[in-house]
Amino acid sequence: MVHPEFLSTLKQKALFLPSNSLSFLHAMFRSAFRASLSPLRVAPTFTPRTFAVARRFITDDVRSKIEAAVKSTPVVMFMKGTPETPQCGFSRAAIQILELEGVPPAKLRTFNVLEDAELRSSIKEYSEWPTIPQLYVNGEFVGGCDILMSMHQTGELEQLFVKHGIVPPETEQASESASS
């Protein structure tokens, strides 16, 4: 509780305030005083189960459709737009990286998430990755545009494509272009 002497001094100095303002000030000081006595609040801890409750679970039907799509071809990308007309800069960059890596169009399948709102939200939950585009190689999630860019710059993406037989090793590419 606020000290009575403090309130009387406040009332004397605040004669110009309407009576409802004094009760407001009293309430304000009372809550400030109580807050100063209470222990500091600790941020809540989240367990995986907490997040599971907060998530919107995708149906088994949608999950099976996504799994079938991801395994339909060696390289699958969920993107905004199409490879010919990407609708966002990140999707454009991801397609350009795949072209630079030499991924043949026959081994690439893309899905336009702008055409299907359920797919757009469900793919994020399926991969547990919050952004689009998303790349899958032989059914395994690789990452988004930032991951693709980093892997391309370090050579890891090329190694991944060679390992899975999506593109031939560089020595074979060089000998093929020399014989042409």
Record the pTM. 0.64
Please check the confidence at residue 12 and state whether its pLDDT lies above 90. Answer: no
Nearest to 70 by CA among 134, 120, 136, 122: 136
Kindly state the percentage of the chain with pLDDT values over 70.
63
CA distance 117 to 30: 50
pLDDT at position 25:
52
Enumerate residues 6+ apart whose C-beta is below 8 A from 94: 77, 79, 133, 135, 144, 145, 148
Please check the confidence at residue 171 and state whether its pLDDT lies above 70. Answer: no
pLDDT at position 169:
85
pLDDT at position 76:
94
Locus of tokens 């989240």? 46
Cis ω before 44 (30° cut-off from 0): no
Helix H segments across the chain? 4-13, 19-37, 48-54, 60-70, 89-101, 117-127, 145-154, 156-163, 170-179
Please check the confidence at residue 127 and state whether its pLDDT lies above 60. Answer: yes
pLDDT at position 82:
94
The full set of domain ranges for the chain reads: 4-12+19-36, 59-169
- 165 phi/psi in degrees, rounded to 5: 75, 20
pLDDT at position 50:
47
Tell me, rounded to whole angstroms, the distance of Cα 11 from its chain centroid. 55
Q: What is the pLDDT of residues 29-50, one digit of tens each?
A: 565 555 555 555 555 555 555 4
Just give the CATH number of 59-169. Answer: 3.40.30.10
Give the CA-trace dihedral at 149, 154, 158, 164, to 10 degrees.
Answer: -100
Q: What is the pLDDT of residues 79-117, one digit of tens each?
A: 999 999 999 999 999 999 999 999 999 999 999 999 988
Please check the confidence at residue 162 and state whether its pLDDT lies above 70. Answer: yes
Tell me, rounded to whole angstroms, the distance of Cα 74 from its chain centroid. 24
Kindly state the percentage of the chain with pLDDT values over 90.
48
CA distance 128 to 172: 36
Q: What is the mean pLDDT of the chain?
A: 78
